[in-house]
Structure 1
Amino acid sequence: MASIKKRPNGKWRARYRDSDGNEHARHFARKIDAQQWLNTVTASVVRGDYVDPKAGLVTFTEFYDSWSTRQIWTRGTRSSYDHVAGTVTFGDMPLLKIKKSHVETWVKKMSTDGLAALTISNRLGLMRAVFKAAVGDRLIAFDPSGGVKRPGAASRASTMNIPSSEEVRALMDASEPFFRVAFVVGAFAGLRQGEICGLQLEDVDFMRQQLHVRRQVQRRMPHPVEIREPKYNSDRTIHLPQLVLHEISRHLQEFGTYGDDRWLLLGRDNGPMWPRLHEYRFSKAAEKTGLKYTSHDLRHFFASGLIAAGCDVVTVQRAMGHKSASVTLDTYSHLWPSAEEKTRVAVESIFNEAFGSPADSSRTGGQK
């Protein structure tokens, strides 16, 4: 129901009822303006994308607090969202009044504060999820972060630090003997730091030549560490050659396991090795060799080896425990051969099959 009436003061009063039966009204100096407003509102009601103007008066922080309690998140994901929600510069603003410019100001501040481009991009992605939820609840008509440019980041090719096989061997040789196995499963199984710390004897299947990734160890304040599922729930099985399993077996023979849960690495208080201690042991070996690598660089070494061996995207994704194949491509696409190179190799293979290689032709004088 909608109508327009002239008031005694000369103003035009336009009013309508929304889908819930609530009445809304606005006053205009000209009847044509009142009619245009009413046409826009009633059309949105008919389309089903109507937004109650009063609903958007809830602040960003108020909406986030309510929305976040309904999400099925891991503790790590919740911690990430809570942290980012606490950094926005528009937390006390009503959702209805947040504009693209406000989001851009927040992005600019993060950049000025010295945050990396990838960090800013990730934070913006998390906030977009909140705004989209507000749109879905019909608190606002559109996402104000839409169209906000992400800061340019350096290409993966220029920032990725991949050690050579010789450098990996040098790092392993420089490590403390009991810590050598951490380099083995990092470089030749691609495990994350927390996953390495979370390895137990039961995770190694010597008969089937498999390593099962079932848990990770993460710092969680105020507690020193927390044992939880791998990132993105990426429980997975890594198929290992006998040579790698031999290194793990030798570690077990020389150093055994630690604690009641039989952790592969020496931990604390009957528990696993803390990630902070893992980082210290790794850095100590790297410093001894003069090489500037981190434990995450060993994951890049593992992934690059799989790609060089001809593994496809899905195979690499599963081995690395990535959330999706798109994450794998975003990270390692520059390591796969280009389409042009693949075409050349394929054509060369077809040509050689049909006519033989140039060497074969010269030996036979071009005769068949």
Structure 2
Amino acid sequence: MAQTAHPPRVSYDPRTPNRNQIIQSPENRGNLTYQRMIFGNVSSIFNAAVDDDFVIKNPCRARSVRAPKKDTPKVVPWTAERVEAVTDALPERYKITAIQGAGLGLRQGEIFGLSPDDVDFLGRSVAIRRQVRLFTNGSMAFRLPKGGKSRTVPLPQSVALALSAHIQKFPPVAVTLPWDTPEGKPLTVELIVTTPDGKALSRNDFNRYVWGPTLEEAKVERTSRADGMHALRHYYASVLLDAGESIKAVSEYLGHTDPGFTLRTYTHLMPSSAERTRKAVDAALSSCAPIVPREAAK
């Protein structure tokens, strides 16, 4: 009976640098993106080798092998001065988008999908019920916010005044889009922000023709995606954390499904225990009589 021929097993020379040695060489040790790319390529090669019976298993999938961690740069929030400069540089019609991002922590699609019916001026809250979703074919639809659930965020007085002024100057426009998918049931919503001809804002068009030129006018060098509209959301989170707001509350306001994600993203922005103590005592004593002797204050 004829035996099936198998390709010879691969032999390894111990003097040859192994995968981990190459990935973690001095020139690549700090570049996690490069490490993940190499690891993924090597794993793909071994998958092909398994399919062709050159090796029995893919060693990259062994329990003892850990893939390089994802390179997640720390969030560096914009300063209040930069937020103000960008807001001032935006066209009058779109200034409110920056205020919604920095003052309510909304995602870009949520800003585009906000309706005056979502704003409770008396109760000082905003219900985030939908976003404007852009699909790869260029079509748009209303959809639930990221994570598939709505949320409610506090409405600061400054944001309420800005929204009221914008609505008076640029009356909301009823826009009809399909719900959830391009083939979904049509839904008509009055939107706070639209194009001059009364259409829903497209993320791509807004970023290209409004946001990009605005950053140039404000002299903000856009070096990465971190300088997109999401920067306003990071600013919102940093303001809340600096004020001592809890991670749980910040996570709820941002619409994160996992508070742990919020903590991992913004933990480096949380004030230290010593700084919180200083602020708490200063706030408590700010209305009291001076406790520093006049002679010492001179």
Q: TM-score range by the shorter chain?
A: 0.5 to 0.7
- What letter matches 2:58 in structure 1? K
**Match of 2:67?**
149
Distance 1:197 1:346 in 2: 37
Matched, 1:276 2:207: no
The within-5 A match list for 1:118-129 is none
Question: Contact between 2:115 and 2:191, CA under 8 Å: does it hold in 1?
Answer: yes
Distance 2:196 2:90 in 1: 20
**Match of 2:190?**
262
Change in CA separation of 1:151 and 1:196 when aligned onto 2, cut-off 3 Å: same
Distance 2:150 2:193 in 1: 20
Matched, 1:99 2:27: no
What is the deviation of 1:227?
2.2
Relative contact order (alpha carbons < 8 A, sep ≥ 6): 1 or 2 greater? Answer: 2
Query: Cα deviation per residue 1:64-91 (whole Å; 9 max; x = unaligned)?
Result: xxxxxxxxxxxxxxxxxxxxxxxx8377
SS where residue 238 of structure 1 aligns? strand
**Match of 2:220?**
291
Distance 2:154 2:142 in 1: 24
Query: Which has a greater percent of helix?
Result: 1
SS where residue 333 of structure 1 aligns? helix
What is the deviation of 1:247?
0.5
What is the deviation of 1:170?
1.3
**Match of 1:46?**
none
**Match of 1:179?**
94
Flag the structure with larger Rg: 1
Matched, 1:214 2:137: no
The within-5 A match list for 1:1-368 is 89=44, 98-101=57-60, 144=62, 147-151=65-69, 153=71, 155-156=73-74, 160-260=75-175, 261-267=189-195, 271-280=199-208, 281-292=210-221, 293-339=227-273, 341=275, 345=278, 359=292
Question: Contact between 2:107 and 2:230, CA under 8 Å: does it hold in 1?
Answer: yes
Structure 1, gaps ≥5 residues long: 1-87, 104-143, 364-368
Give the TM-score, by structure 2 length: 0.65
Aligned alpha-carbon RMSD (Å): 3.3
Query: Cα deviation per residue 1:7-60 (whole Å; 9 max; x = unaligned)?
Result: xxxxxxxxxxxxxxxxxxxxxxxxxxxxxxxxxxxxxxxxxxxxxxxxxxxxxx
Question: Contact between 1:219 and 1:226, CA under 8 Å: does it hold in 2?
Answer: yes
- What letter matches 2:190 in structure 1? R
SS where residue 141 of structure 2 aligns? strand
- What letter matches 2:59 in structure 1? K
- What letter matches 2:215 in structure 1? A
Distance 1:271 1:348 in 2: 51
Q: Number of residue pairs matched?
A: 226
What is the deviation of 1:150?
2.1
**Match of 1:114?**
none
Distance 1:249 1:241 in 2: 12
Question: Contact between 2:194 and 2:201, CA under 8 Å: does it hold in 1?
Answer: yes
Question: Contact between 2:86 and 2:214, CA under 8 Å: does it hold in 1?
Answer: yes
- Identity rate, percent: 27
Distance 2:291 2:119 in 1: 49
Distance 1:256 1:332 in 2: 36
Question: Contact between 1:234 and 1:322, CA under 8 Å: does it hold in 2?
Answer: no
Deviates more, 1:212-221 or 1:182-191: 212-221
